[in-house]
Chain A
Amino acid sequence: MNDWPLYEIFIRSKNGLNHKHVGSLHAADAHMAIQNARDVYTRRNEGISIWVVEAKNITASNPDESEALFDPAEDKIYRHPTFYKLPDALKHM
């Protein structure tokens, strides 16, 4: 099984929704990964579309850099609608 690459599996549960990561599995190639993903991850109508991506092709952000990457968003409260006070007379916006 060492020869079988690891695939990450993404399933769209129904049209209108994103493909979502559900797990991973080993397969000889992408085609087999889709077949196995069907058997393993969609036995109860969980999906209508499958993406498989070989795990080695995914580039991920480094968790050690999380603070540098994501903290700057924290103090930008003016990006949220709740930052702006509206007059009481205004019913909807």
Chain B
Amino acid sequence: MDSTYSMEERFQLRIDKEEKIEARDWMPDAYRKTLIRQVSQHAHSEIVGMLPESNWITRAPSIKRKLALLAKVQDEGGHGLYLYSATETLGINRDELIEQLHTGKAKYSSIFNYPTLSWADIGAIGWLVDGAAIMNQVALCRTSYGPYARAMVRICKEESFHQRQGYDILLTMCKGSEAQKEMVQDAVNRWWWPSLMMFGPNDDASPNSAQSLKWKIKRLSNDELRQRFVDATVPQAEILGISLPDPLLKYNEKRGQYDFGPIDWDEFFQVVAGNGPCNKERLAARVKAHEEGAWVREASVAYAEKQKNRLLSDVAVA
């Protein structure tokens, strides 16, 4: 290529041509840093996201529901691993990433700082929270960084079952007693707005978005994704026969999309800042699991060492 271009310009040309960037390719420092922040935050969200749902594994109403929920939560652990691995290709190691999560330096999706009060919450999470995550992740399958894009493709294949199992829980409850239907409505009332917040601040309040879009780390803006989610979700709520807690929600004939009310960003920033209902509990559970698992990690290393020595002494005898 023409040597009159700077490294940055050549990089941008590759991006503009839809070329994927791979781990050992040259990339601007800011591109690397942005990715490390975004992908690790995504990884942390998968892992912390297991906590609100694990709350209900032992209390699932049937063995079928329990198996499905276990499988879903196990998937989320796998998603965390794919994304940690993708982050590590950018030159940061796993211990640093875990450290950042446990010390609060790194964020995870704020949605997981809300409590799961009833079984209907598990349905609402699958339908709305996984639904919102899928909207975001489908777009990220085309992200410019190869390892991140490949992790996303793998994750998207697994996600659609998550949303369906959630919706199926709600469908079943909505066909049940009045009390069950009320539980669904209550759960949806509580999860609707936090789900819309998952897409992040409005575009005009999201200063880094433009650069991320230019580098094709993000493929769609926060507001575009949020609109798509609302448009996809409203008809699903109608089939359930429940309402969404927004008096301004209305189909706009002219736009061919739904209008919806303003989001309470004060609440969002409060939760991000650590003042949500479950922030402390979630982080404490994470740190506890890590610390209590230390002996397993140590034992695995000791066992691997022993096996290696045994192999060596076998060779010596032979």
Q: A residues within 8 Å of B by Cβ?
A: 1-4, 6, 22-29, 31-32, 39-40, 43-44, 60, 62-64
Contacts and interface: CB of A to CB of B under 8 A. Distances in A.
B8 interface: no
A35 B304 CA distance: 13
Interface of B: 22, 24-26, 71, 74-75, 78, 81-82, 85, 88, 93-95, 98, 150-151, 154, 158, 297, 300-301, 303-304, 307-308
Contacts of A44: 158
Contact of A25 (B74, B85, B304): B85
A43 B88 contact: no
B85 to A, nearest CB: 5
B24 A28 contact: no
A4 B85 contact: no
A29 B304 contact: yes
B78 A4 contact: no
Contacts of A6: 88
Given A31-B307, A60-B24, A25 B81 contact: yes
A90 B167 CA distance: 60
Given A23-B154, A29-B308, A4 B297 contact: yes
B95 A63 contact: no
A3 B294 CA distance: 12
Contacts of B75: 43
A4 B94 CA distance: 10
Given A2-B93, A23-B85, A63-B24, A40 B78 contact: yes
Contacts of A25: 81, 85
A2 B81 contact: no
B297 A43 contact: no
A64 B27 CA distance: 12
Contacts of B98: 1
A3 B301 contact: yes
A82 B211 CA distance: 43
A1 B78 contact: no
B251 to A, nearest CB: 37
Contacts of B26: 63-64
Contact of B150 (A4, A23, A31, A62): A23
Contacts of B154: 22-23
A62 B94 CA distance: 25
Given A63-B24, A64-B26, 10 more contacts: A1-B98, A4-B297, A23-B85, A28-B297, A29-B308, A32-B300, A40-B81, A62-B24, A63-B22, A63-B26
16 contacts: A1-B94, A2-B93, A2-B95, A4-B301, A23-B82, A25-B81, A28-B297, A28-B300, A28-B301, A28-B303, A29-B304, A31-B304, A31-B307, A39-B78, A60-B24, A63-B26
